[in-house]
Amino acid sequence: MKQSVSSVFKFLSFVVLSFMVSFTAFSVYAADLTLHSGTLVYFKVKQPFDADNYPRKNAGTVDFVVSRDVKIGQEVVIAKGTPAEAILLKNKNNFIYGIAGKAQFGSFKTVAVDGQQVDFRDGLTIEGDDRVLPAFIISGWIKGQDAKLDVDQEFSLSTNTPVLIKTD
């Protein structure tokens, strides 16, 4: 009888210890993750962008989407397809004499999987092609190209500050 009590005690100790180890492992897995400053996030514009379709001043926001999952280890912290937006800071339309159009976006932001806002330190500047030389040859009546951004053009920006992301 003494030996069976000892083996039951060992078995119960093993079960309790196993439960504690698995609970600890699960707790580590479900811990908060830090999205560090400088992490690259890839974006695409949601709709084709053409500078001619926006006013020069007070142009408002432009919609983008995250184009790749952002992961810390195996955990997705910003999902592909997450909406993002930026402010169109400057918008210069193309002009005669071959001068290209130019657009500058800033104040990019999106959200992590837990709903926290993620801000970016960089901006994006796009420019059409200058056609100054051909414009000079043909008396200046050639316009430069518009500043355009197609939905298949991908670019990356760096996160601004660390964000503590809560995972399930």
Phi, psi of 145 (to 5 degrees): -75, 150
Determine the length of the chain.
168
Query: What is the per-residue pLDDT across 21-49, written as a single tens digit (0 to 9) for each?
Result: 444 333 444 568 899 999 999 999 999 98
* Amino acid sitting at position 119: D
Greater confidence (74 vs 15) lies with 74
Q: Report pLDDT for 77.
A: 95
Which residue has tokens 């400088």?
38
DSSP annotation string for 144-159: PPPPEE-TT-EEEEEB
116: tokens are 């926290």
Average pLDDT estimate for 1-8? 52
* pLDDT on residue 167: 77
Q: Tell me the pLDDT tens digit for each residue of 105-163.
A: 889 999 999 999 999 998 888 776 555 454 444 444 554 566 677 888 899 999 999 99
Give the other-Cβ count within 10 Å of 110's Cβ. 23
Sheet strands (E) in the chain: 33-35, 40-45, 49-50, 61-66, 70-72, 75-78, 83-92, 102-111, 117-119, 124-127, 148-149, 154-158, 163-165
Three-class DSSP category at 105 = strand
> How far apart are the two ends of the chain, measured CA to CA in Å?
46
Q: How far is CA 33 from the centre of its chain?
A: 17
Is 69 a residue whose pLDDT tops 50? Answer: yes
